[in-house]
Amino acid sequence: MKNIFTPSKIFLYLLLSFIAGVFLAPLAPMTGIILAGAFVVAFSLFFPKPVPIISIVLVSLMILGFLRYQLYLPKIDAGHIGFYNGQELVVDGIVDAEPSNDDTKLKVQISKIKIRTEKEFLSLKGDILAELPRNVDVKYGDQIRFKAKLKKPTDSIDFSYSNYLAKAGIYSIAQNVEKFEIIASGKGSLIVSALYQTKAAFVEKIKKIFPEPHAGMIQGLILGGKGTLPDYLVALFQIVGITHIVAISGYNISILAKISEGLIGRWHRKLSLWGTLFLIAGLVIITGAQASVVRAGIMGAVLVLAGFVDRKNNPLNALVLVGTIMIFFNPLILRDDVGFQLSFLATLGIVLFFPIFSHIFRKVPEPFSEALSATLAAQTLALPILITNFGALSLISPLANMIILPLIPVAMTLGFFSGVLAFINLYLGQMLAFFGYAVLDLIIKISEFLARIPYAYLEIKSGKLAVWLIWCVILLVLLVAKRKETLWKKK
């Protein structure tokens, strides 16, 4: 019982109580209070001799999380853009993020909204997602004006698009835009503008020194997103379960950090720390410091630091503390941001289960054992989120990750420095890009071979409850193994 109520464990319980309060907050207030009371009763029954004040503080933190969520939600009144959904308006605003392309349109997030009234422009809270023609030349920091009918984001049965946009502050969509014009430029952050300009220049150099689809792969690896990949490669990488690798995201930063730490650490321990932190910082900067990548980068940095400092400095508490701080500043990411869920759970899985898988695969040669252990540890907690959101499971994924993951840092390094050299001299960039091309082509060939294996990929259109039940059994087995590992280390 003493081990259950150590200061470290109590601190973890407090953090988890706050997170639980945020998670339960979207439910009806009475339901949340009942569940909070049930939590206290269960806690008291499970621990016969709890310290009374601990129970009170746990419930207080849960209520605080509940209140934080409710207070974070905006009031939709005449001073908020969501109030005007369904109306046709003349809108003035600033492009607040890098525009994103899809097959038919350009999506632009607009902040600092003003709408035209009879006498003047009225400033409003909340952002708009404007859908423009693909050929419109608009960039971050542009002040734009247009006429459109605003509408509320439409939800489907199994996906809340309105909640997905709300986490980014978007409460209205503008379609069929008319009378579009750019009023001014350079209205955004100078630092963010410089990052986006650097990114655009880097992309141009990559396109000059790499052929397609390899240029698209390098962009995905270093800059993020699957939009640069042709459809057949997206489908191929989905079958073998490496989409998260070739399109930098919150989920794979932790995996790449762990692999890089292991590879560099074979030569020098301190170099592995600073080299991996430099890699994470570089990925965050070159992607334009997007909020999702920044959050994932912080978690990846916590993971690396946890492996470097004394193990007594509980990495689990450090990770949960970082996650709690992020949730405090934006409570909506807990339930509605799949990127945050995947990055947090993947990092947590590596912290908890990487030693177990390393022990299981200790006879597998390096660096393959490192890649396999990191992948399986990350997927242990992230798997149900992946399946329920994407409706598929790659059975060949562990093998594919074991073979391909060690190649990713090599491809990223060659691609990055090829692009940098291309700024100095295009021919020097092309010379180094030849080796990067070879690594990328090897990844494609390995993926094509693995995709031809029967039953490599399984679509799960129903029975997701069974997936969660099976996952719970697997998790229970791993937790028992984790407990035995702890006891073995003590002996």
User: What CA–CA distances, in Å, run from 245 to 248, 249, 318, 397?
Assistant: 6, 8, 25, 11
> Over 80: is that where the pLDDT of 364 sits?
no
Confidence (pLDDT) at 435:
93
Q: Please give the helix or strand (H or E) that residue 8 lies within, else none.
A: helix 7-24
Confidence (pLDDT) at 220:
81
Q: What percent of the chain has pLDDT over 70?
A: 75
Which of the pair, 412 or 305, is modelled with greater confidence?
A: 412
> Over 70: is that where the pLDDT of 230 sits?
yes
Which of the pair, 129 or 302, is modelled with greater confidence?
A: 129
Residue 363: exposure state from Cβ atoms within 10 A (0-12, 13-18, ≥19)? exposed
pTM of the model: 0.75
Domains defined for the chain, CATH in brackets = 7-72 (no CATH), 81-188 (2.40.50.140), 199-490 (no CATH)
What is the distance between the alpha carbons of residues 96 and 99, in angstroms, rounded to a whole number?
Answer: 9
Confidence (pLDDT) at 442:
93
Confidence (pLDDT) at 258:
62
Alpha helices in 287-406 (DSSP H): 291-308, 315-329, 333-336, 338-360, 368-390, 397-404
> Over 60: is that where the pLDDT of 237 sits?
yes
Which residues neighbour 5 within 8 Å (Cβ) at sequence distance 6 or greater? 47, 50, 51, 54
> Over 90: is that where the pLDDT of 133 sits?
no
Max avg pLDDT among 119-123, 446-450, 475-479 = 446-450
> Over 80: is that where the pLDDT of 283 sits?
no
Mean pLDDT computed over 223-234: 73
The position carrying tokens 């992230």 is 382
What is the distance between the alpha carbons of residues 397 and 451, in angstroms, rounded to a whole number?
Answer: 10
Residues in a beta bridge with 93 = 144
What is the distance between the alpha carbons of residues 217 and 448, in angstroms, rounded to a whole number?
Answer: 15
What is the distance between the alpha carbons of residues 21 and 461, in angstroms, rounded to a whole number?
Answer: 31
Per-residue pLDDT band for 441 (boundaries 50, 70, 90) equals very high
Which of the pair, 47 or 54, is modelled with greater confidence?
A: 54
Per-residue pLDDT band for 487 (boundaries 50, 70, 90) equals very low
> Over 90: is that where the pLDDT of 3 sits?
no
Per residue in 183-204, pLDDT tens?
Answer: 988 888 888 888 888 888 888 9
> Over 90: is that where the pLDDT of 266 sits?
no
Q: What percent of the chain has pLDDT over 90?
A: 9
> Over 60: is that where the pLDDT of 222 sits?
yes
Mean pLDDT computed over 361-381: 75
Confidence (pLDDT) at 210:
92
Structural tokens at position 299: 């978690």
Long-range contacts of 102-110 (CB under 8 A, 24+ apart): 102/227, 104/134, 105/131, 105/132, 105/133, 105/134, 106/131, 106/132, 106/133, 106/134, 106/136, 106/138, 107/131, 107/132, 108/132, 108/138, 108/144, 109/168, 109/170, 110/144, 110/174
Which of the pair, 13 or 253, is modelled with greater confidence?
A: 13
What is the distance between the alpha carbons of residues 217 and 433, in angstroms, rounded to a whole number?
Answer: 13
Which of the pair, 156 or 270, is modelled with greater confidence?
A: 156
**Taking Cα atoms as reference points, which of 270, 247, 324 lies closest to residue 68?**
324
Confidence (pLDDT) at 44:
58
> Over 80: is that where the pLDDT of 284 sits?
no
Mean pLDDT computed over 258-280: 64
